[in-house]
């Protein structure tokens, strides 16, 4: 069985989420095996990860909260992408 693991010293959020990934993949496989032909597989999945310390006392907004997007079928989901400019670049 896969396990979620620490990614670095002091990692309390277990950022290597092997078990979480296996659960999502299992759910998608179960949906694909479903007897109902009306069930379409998801091309992408997104999730919120609440991580880090609170930004201020009593906050529910944490310092490292973020959203991750998993593209399961790139051929159907990705029509383009952009690369942010590095700070200090002069080329246009």
Q: What's the confidence (pLDDT) of residue 73? A: 78
Q: What's the confidence (pLDDT) of residue 83? A: 82
* Dihedral sign from CA coordinates of 40, 42, 50, 82: negative
Q: What's the confidence (pLDDT) of residue 90? A: 57
C-alpha 54/C-alpha 64 separation (Å) is 9
Domain boundaries, the chain: 4-77
Place of tokens 């069985």: 1
Q: Are 46 and 67 in contact (CB under 8 A)?
A: yes
pLDDT, tens only, 14-56: 889 899 889 988 988 888 787 666 777 778 888 888 888 999 9
Within the chain, residue ranges assigned H as helices are: 18-33, 74-77
Place 79 in a pLDDT band, splitting at 50, 70 and 90: confident
């Amino acid at each position: 069985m896969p396990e979620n693991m620490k990614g670095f010293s002091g990692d309390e959020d277990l950022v290597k989420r092997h078990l979480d990934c296996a659960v999502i993949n299992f759910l998608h496989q179960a949906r694909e095996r479903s007897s109902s032909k009306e069930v379409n597989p998801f091309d992408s999945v997104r999730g919120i990860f609440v991580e880090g310390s609170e930004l201020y006392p009593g906050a529910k907004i944490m310092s490292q909260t973020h959203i991750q997007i998993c593209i399961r079928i790139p051929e159907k989901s990705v029509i383009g992408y952009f690369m942010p400019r590095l700070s200090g670049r002069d080329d246009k």
